[in-house]
Amino acid sequence: MKKVAFHTLGCKLNFAESSDLARTFTQNDYEQVSSKEFADVYVINTCTVTQVAEKKCRNAIRQANHLNPDATIAVIGCFAQLNPKEIAEIEGVDIILGNADKHKLFEYIERKDEFDEHFKEVVPIDNIKEFVPSYSFEDRTRSFLKIQDGCDYFCSYCAIPFARGRSRSDTIENTIKKAYELEKEGKKEVVLTGVNIGDFGKHQGEDFFGLVKELDKVEHIERYRISSIEPNLITNEIINFVSMSRSFLPHFHIPLQGGTNFLLERMKRKYNRELFEDRVRYIKKVMPHAFIAADIIIGFPGESEEEFNETIAFIESLPLSALHVFTYSERPNSLAIKFEGKVPMNIRKKRSLIIQDISNKKKKEFYENNIGYKAKVLWESDNEKGMMYGFSDNYIRVGRKFDEKYINTITQETLEHINPLTQSFEIKS
* End position of a domain, from candidates 354, 369, 384: 369
Position 111 in a domain? yes
Half-sphere CA count of 382, side-chain side, radius 13 A:
9
Indicate the length of the chain as a whole number. Answer: 429
Question: What residue numbers bound the domain in which 412 lies?
Answer: 374-426
Could you read off the pLDDT of 67-96 as tens digits, one per residue? 999 999 999 999 999 988 889 888 889 899
Tell me, what CATH number does 315's domain have? 3.80.30.20
Same domain, 315 and 413: no
d(C-alpha 392, C-alpha 379), whole Å: 9
Q: 308 and 389: one domain?
A: no
Kindly tell me if the per-residue pLDDT of 370 is higher than 90. yes
- Based on the fold, state whether residues 380 and 363 are members of the same structural domain: no
pLDDT at 177 over 80: yes
> What SS3 state is found at 145?
strand
Distance CA 394, CA 181 (A): 25
> Which CATH number fits the domain that encloses residue 11?
3.40.50.12160
Same-domain status, 160 and 50: no
> Is the pLDDT score of 123 beyond 80?
no
Residue 362 belongs to a domain:
yes
**pTM of model > 0.95:** no
The total number of structural domains that make up the chain: 3
Task: Indicate if 255 and 162 belong to the same structural domain.
Answer: yes
pLDDT tier, 121 (very low <50, low <70, confident <90, very high otherwise): low
Give the chain's largest Cα–Cα span.
Answer: 65
23, β-bridge pairs? none
Distance (Å) of CA 37 to CA 14, 382, 409: 21, 20, 32
3-state SS, residue 107: helix
Measured CA to CA, the distance from residue 253 to residue 291 in angstroms comes to: 8
DSSP 429: -
Beta carbons within 10 angstroms of residue 17's beta carbon = 29
Q: Which of 188, 423, 196 is nearest to 321 (CA)?
A: 423
Last residue of a domain, one of 339, 369, 399: 369
Looking at the domain assignment, is residue 128 inside a domain? no
Same domain, 352 and 383: no
- Domain shared by 273 and 232, yes or no: yes
> pLDDT, tens digit, for every residue of 293-338?
999 999 999 999 999 999 999 999 999 999 999 999 999 889 999 9
Judge whether residue 116 has pLDDT over 70. Answer: no
List Cα–Cα distances, 83 to 96, 120, 151, 401, in angstroms.
10, 11, 19, 47
Give yes or no: residues 167 and 110 share one domain: no
- For the chain, counts of helices (H) and of strands (E): 13, 21
Q: Both 259 and 324 in a single domain?
A: yes
The answer as to whether 178 is a domain residue is: yes
Could you give the CA distance from residue 308 to residue 313 in angstroms, rounded to a whole number?
9
pLDDT at residue 328 in the model: 96
Same domain, 184 and 238: yes
Question: Which of 89, 123, 157 delimits the end of a domain?
Answer: 123
- The b-or-e profile of 356-367 (16+ CB within 10 A means b, else e) is bebbeebbeebb
Q: Is 172 helix (H, G, I), strand (E, B) or coil?
A: helix
Residues 187 and 235 reside in one and the same domain: yes
86 located within any domain = yes
CB 235 within 8 A of CB 200: no
Q: Are strands 387-392 and 417-419 parallel, antiparallel or unpaired?
A: unpaired
Q: Decide if 104 is inside a domain.
A: yes
| Shared domain check, 238 and 191 | yes
**129 assigned to some structural domain:** no
pLDDT single digits (tens) 204-218: 999 999 999 999 999
